[in-house]
Amino acid sequence: MVVFCTKCGAQNEDFSQHCVQCQATLPVIGNRPTAYQPDYQPPFQTAYEPIQPPAPMYGQGSNLDRQSKGADKKIIAGILGIVVGGFGIHKFILGYQREGLTMLLVSVLSCGTLAGFMHIIGIAEGIIYLTNSDEEFVRTYIQGHKGWF
């Protein structure tokens, strides 16, 4: 690229800093190097940064995390709640001994007269367990310890 002097209008070489005719300072155009350009030195790294493992793709890590927290109990508890909900077995699966024992004792000690009522509760809870997402199930019934419905 040709550089023209702003004072006399003379044509100069690409990387000239002074005009060949009038010795005036030429304007810096584009990325033309200045008077002194030191050799390239990489920037100083202050601290070592270890390579981080890649982030889990498409929710792989969170799926394993939900299963370790108890989302794998959702299907078993839901089916048992629908099939034999009157005996409270689905409550024992989730770790609710008090609620499970209550349902079992009400069904057995009433000689089956209230077993139908307990079975309706079990069916409703089984449907609720199966229709919740894994995250919501873990948050509500595993971490939140919601005993009824």
* Residue 12 structure tokens: 């100069």
CA angle 107, 97, 130 (to 5 degrees): 80
The dihedral sign for the CA sequence 142, 80, 87, 92:
negative
Supply 95's token pair: 């770790």
On the question of pLDDT at 72 being above 90, the answer is no
pLDDT at 33: 52
- For 27-50, the pLDDT digits (tens) are 776 655 555 555 666 666 666 666
User: What is the arithmetic mean of pLDDT over 68-94?
Assistant: 90
* Number of CB atoms found within 10 A of residue 139's CB: 15
Orientation angle between helical segments 115-131 and 73-84, nearest 10 degrees: 150
